[in-house]
Amino acid sequence: MSNSLLQALSVQSTKRLGDPFDGYFKKGTKWTPRTDGLLDISNAKRWFEVIGWGSPNDLYTYQQALESKSGPRVRLGGQQFLMISSYDYLGLIGHPAIEAAAIEAIGEYGTSTGGVRLLVGTTDLHRQFERELAAYKGAEAAMTFSSGYMANLGIVSSLLGPDDRVIIDAKAHRSIVEACRLARVPMQRFHHNDPFSLQQKLASKPSGRRTLIVVEGVYSMDGDICPLPDIVELKKQHDAFLMAFGKFDIKSGKPSLIIE
Ligand SMILES: Cc1ncc(COP(=O)(O)O)c(C=O)c1O
């Protein structure tokens, strides 16, 4: 880490973060890796160094234990913090109607299903939710996943295989890359938000393969908006499939995850 970055990070408020490592990384102590264990890998060493520096300096923000429900303000370590990292885009956590429905459902169905959705974990509530979601979106059917990561893994690995190919935006989420690996489908990247670069990849289409283009509606790290009309035009010209992942537009009624 560069000195200027360290300095920038050191501009802190007076608020103290919690220590998720229970004092393992104390200020001034150096973590010395064991050379014979499972953590004897460069990746682990790199992370231990970063955490060993960040945690005692109050700059390790992962796995902080909130002492309240998530919302615009949260409490941790007995102090109030402004929350700017959550995915609660619609601000529905804590909505009284949702809380009441969840409590009622626990009374009826318990706190967990007895298995995964595929086996014995599907309830009529799941079905009802998916039917209502499909109707709301004007789609034939809807399928819900417990996380975005699982959605990408499940969709790409079940619909594509080694004889196809996937072309992804260079800044597409990591889970798409993992999904392609799982599907053993060849993957190419085009320059971020650059339809010309996509066109070049599409033009090199190997014969007999289906092509899936993967983009995001709004790139969550940078806030860039995808030039979707241009991408859709290219998809049509090259007879490809398109998956556009978005999670910010449910209020407008536009599809959150388009696969065409
Ligand atoms: C495009 C995209 N895919 C997948 C994910 C992963 O979603 P989750 O954190 O729900 O697993 C995200 C999360 O921000 C995302 O932006």
Residue with the nearest Cα to atom 12 of ligand 1?
Answer: 148
Q: Give me the pLDDT at residue 6, please.
A: 40
Could you tell me if 79 and 15 are in contact, meaning their C-beta atoms sit under 8 angstroms apart? yes
For residue 243, is pLDDT > 80? yes
Looking at the predicted structure, is the pLDDT value of residue 8 above 80?
no
SS3 254: coil
Ligand 1 site-directed mutation target among 85, 145, 175, 219, most atoms within 8 Å of CB: 175
DSSP string, 26-47: -TT------SSSTT-SHHHHHH
Going by pLDDT thresholds of 50, 70 and 90, the confidence category of residue 188 is very high
Amino acid at 25: F
User: Among 247, 256, 257, 258, which residue has the most ligand 1 atoms within 8 Å of its CB, making it the best to mutate?
Assistant: 247
Q: How far apart are CA 167 and CA 215, in angstroms?
A: 9
pLDDT per position as a tens digit, 117-145: 999 999 999 999 999 999 998 999 999 99
Ligand 1 environment, Cβ below 6 A: 147-149, 152, 173, 175, 216, 220, 245
| Centre of ligand 1 from the C-alpha of residue 148, in Å | 4
Ligand 1 atom 7: the closest Cα is on which residue? 148
Q: Please, are residues 165 and 143 in contact by the beta-carbon 8 Å criterion? A: no
Atom 1, ligand 1: residue with shortest CA distance: 173
Q: What pLDDT shows up at residue 183?
A: 96
Between the alpha carbon of residue 97 and those of residues 27, 124, 251, the distances in Å are 46, 20, 18
Q: How confident is the model at residue 247 (pLDDT cuts 50, 70, 90)?
A: low
Average pLDDT, the chain: 87
> Measured from the CA of 216, which atom of ligand 1 is nearest?
1
Atom of ligand 1 nearest to the CA of 220: 16
Angle at 181 between CA 176 and CA 185, to 5 degrees: 95
Cα 36 to ligand 1 centre (Å): 35
pLDDT at 255 over 60: no
**Residue 9 scores a pLDDT above 50:** no
Q: What is the pLDDT of residue 222?
A: 82
Task: Pick from 86, 215, 225, 245 the residue to mutate for probing ligand 1's pocket: most ligand atoms within 8 Å of its CB.
Answer: 245
Look up residue 218 and give its DSSP letter.
B
Which domains are delineated in the chain? 3-82 (no CATH), 96-137 (no CATH), 148-259 (3.40.640.10)
Top mean-pLDDT range of 51-60, 177-186, 206-215: 177-186
Q: What is the mean pLDDT of residues 35-42?
A: 85
**Is residue 4 classed as helix, strand or coil in its secondary structure?**
helix
Task: Of 3-12, 27-36, 44-53, 229-238, give the lowest mean pLDDT range.
Answer: 3-12
Q: What angle do CA 53, 59, 61 make, to 5 degrees?
A: 120
- Nearest atom in ligand 1 to 247's CA: 16
Q: List, for residues 20-33, the tens digit of each pLDDT value.
A: 888 888 887 777 77
Structure confidence at residue 13 as a pLDDT band (50, 70, 90): low
